[in-house]
Amino acid sequence: MRKKLIRIAAAPMSLDLLLRGQLNYLNGYFDVLAVASPGVEHARIRRREGVETVELEIERTISLWKDLKSLWRLFALFRRERPWGVHSLTPKAGLLSMAAAALARVPVRVHTFTGLIFPYRKGAFKFLLRQMDRLTCLFATHVIPEGEGVRKLLIAEKVTGKSLEVLAHGNVNGVDLEHFRQSGRREEERRRLGLPAGAVLFVFVGRITEDKGIRELLAAFSALRGDEEQGGIPVFLALVGGLEGYAAADLEMPGVFVPGFQEDIRPWLEAADVFVLPSYREGFPNSLLQAGAMGLPSIAADVCGCNEIIEDGVNGLLVAVRDEEALRSAMASLRDDPERRRQIGARAAENVRRKYSCRMVWDALLNFYGRIS
């Protein structure tokens, strides 16, 4: 009889996007059950991954009464299903599921930290978030940091004394190299956007929110548009993702595309010339790996995760956090040098192929499960 494994996140989108293909792979070795808050993604997960799902409300924000109800429902679910292991992915789901699994005496309780929030907060809220992460680790039997940066931060902030093992080279799922590859439709996608010949398209993919460096990115891009008015190379910017803290009107400026959340980001990556991620904080960004897989050179902030993927000047460029002038300079340097873009993009693709294929990550996770059985 196969062991039962429960994978859990607060939002179904996390399981849908972050673990694409992984649940199906693991289901070949375990009876996998996916748990997340209600959402349309459940039907897609069941169809694509071939696993059963449970819709169980888990608030992403702190809500004491709702959190207690979720804790009880998770405890009841674990007692009913009696899994070999519970493996959580996101902060709130981690705290509640690790606590419930410990109460239900689930033997294997694993939490993956895809990043830490509390080091970037202040005061009482920072203290509360730190204690929540400490409790998650206390209830877990095993803790996986998504990358070396996250591992070092967990140690430096004294979040846990448990052994911390980064699987493979980091990242929670790796990249499907067959999915993220050039399709030969670059010119068609650029025509669809109305880009003139010789134009350079910068693309950002992620939540459109302040801590992703959107303010600095818009300022740097605006300066590049000023160069264009003086006879420079035409530039465009695509901000691909859901709006959080910004209204569409805030982003309206010449040359900026704001298509919103896109289930398939490949057309935007294929049309682009440079990927930009000036985030204030990251865990181990999937979008940077996906862009690299498609041969795009990237400019990213020199923060945890980004600086594990990018070697400055080799397979991308790193810039200081919140430094719009450094960002503008890096964007201008790649705008003006198509051959450098090609070389850096080729090295980025090779780096992803060599270190971050999804099968490599999945095999490492399966090996980890085998070692802790």
**DSSP secondary structure string for all residues of 93-119:** HHHHHHHHHHHTT-SEEEEEES--SGG
Contact 68, 45 (CB under 8 A): no
How many C-beta atoms lie closer than 10 Å to residue 280's C-beta?
Answer: 15
Report the percentage of the chain scoring pLDDT > 70. 99
- Domain 4-174+358-372 = CATH 3.40.50.2000: yes
pTM check: above 0.85: yes
Q: Which one-letter amino acid corresponds to residue 22?
A: Q
The dihedral of CA 308, 313, 315, 317: what is its sign?
positive
Q: Kindly report the CA angle at 292 between 210 and 360, in degrees rounded to 5?
A: 110
Contact 188, 261 (CB under 8 A): no
Can you give the residue ranges of every domain in the chain? 4-174+358-372, 186-355
pLDDT tens figures, 305-357: 999 999 999 999 999 999 999 999 999 999 999 999 999 999 999 999 999 99
**Equal CATH topology for 4-174+358-372 and 186-355:** yes
Sheet of 256-260: strand order equals 256-260, 235-240, 200-205, 274-277, 298-301, 317-319
Q: Which two tokens stand for residue 6?
A: 């429960």
pLDDT tens figures, 148-189: 999 999 999 999 999 999 999 999 999 999 999 999 999 999
Mean pLDDT across the stretch 256-261?
Answer: 94
Q: Could you tell me which CATH number the domain at 186-355 has?
A: 3.40.50.2000
Q: What is the pLDDT of residue 22?
A: 97
